[in-house]
Amino acid sequence: MAHLHCIEDDKGNLVDIDVFCSDFCNQKYTKDKYQGWFGSMEISFNTPCVNCGKILFGVNEVFL
C-alpha cells in the first residue's frame, strides 16, 4: 500500500503524483508542502518510494 502526494499546477490541475512507502517518508520529503495522510492506496505497478527508494509492489505485477 502506498502513500500519495498530489502535485498540481498553478490552475489546480493534477499534473503528477509522488509515491511513498509510508506517511513518515511523505512528511520527510514534502516538509511544509505535506498535504496530510493519504495512505493505504493501491498502485498498479511496482514503484520506488520517492524518499527512500523502497519498492512498492503494484497490484498488476506478477509475483514469481
| Residue at 47 is within a domain | yes
| Residue at 45 is within a domain | yes
Beta bridge partners of 56: 47
User: By residue range, what is the domain housing residue 16?
Assistant: 3-56
| Residue at 63 is within a domain | no
Instruction: State the pTM of this model.
Output: 0.88
| Residue at 61 is within a domain | no
**Mean per-residue pLDDT over the chain, rounded:** 94
| Residue at 25 is within a domain | yes
Alpha-carbon distance of 52 to 21, in angstroms, equals 8
Q: What cell does 52 get? A: 527512500
Q: Tell me the per-residue pLDDT of 6-64, one tens digit each, with 9 for 90 and over.
A: 999 999 999 999 999 999 999 999 999 999 999 999 999 999 999 999 999 999 876 65
How many domains, in total, are found in the chain?
1
User: Residue 1: what residue type?
Assistant: M
State the pLDDT at residue 63: 64
